Amino acid sequence: MITLKDAQGQVDEWIKTIGVRYFNELTNLGILMEEVGELSRIMVRQYGEQSFKESDKGKDLSDEMADVLWVLLCLANQTGVDLTEAFERNMAKKTKRDAQRHKENDKL
């Protein structure tokens, strides 16, 4: 099983040996938005009301999610963010903040 730390290391190694260098942070932010858009397109067709178009054929939901993760890992590496630590802090924050919130939500 791969950890977030492992994934960040693998992306960094790939960039340094195959990818030549990281795109700058703003370029990667734009790429991230593009990848999220591609993921959205598949999601709204697979789970929403839109129908698939010819250009959607061959698109894979898991691959689109992995593309989003890839660019996020690049951005984390570039900005010095340890995603393992960030995720753990974020989970603790959400757990504390939402301990009763969702249980008490009549809409859920």
Q: What is the pLDDT of residues 21-73, one digit of tens each?
A: 999 999 999 999 999 999 999 999 999 999 988 888 889 999 999 999 999 99
Find the domain containing 40 and state its range.
24-97
pLDDT of residue 32: 98
Full-model pTM: 0.89
Q: Is 5 a member of any domain? A: no
**Residue corresponding to tokens 């054929």:** 57
Whether residue 95 has pLDDT greater than 90: yes
List the CATH number of the domain containing 89: 1.10.287.1080
How high is the mean pLDDT of the chain? Answer: 95
Residue 65 domain flag: yes
pLDDT band at 108 (very low <50, low <70, confident <90, very high): confident
Q: Does 77 map to a domain?
A: yes
Count: domains in the chain: 1
- Cβ atoms of 22 and 78 within 8 Å: the answer is yes
Residue 42 lies inside a defined structural domain of this protein? yes
What pLDDT is stored for residue 106 in this prediction?
Answer: 83
Flag whether 49 is in a domain: yes
CA nearest to 86, candidates 2, 4, 18: 4
pLDDT confidence of residue 98? 86
pLDDT at 23: 97
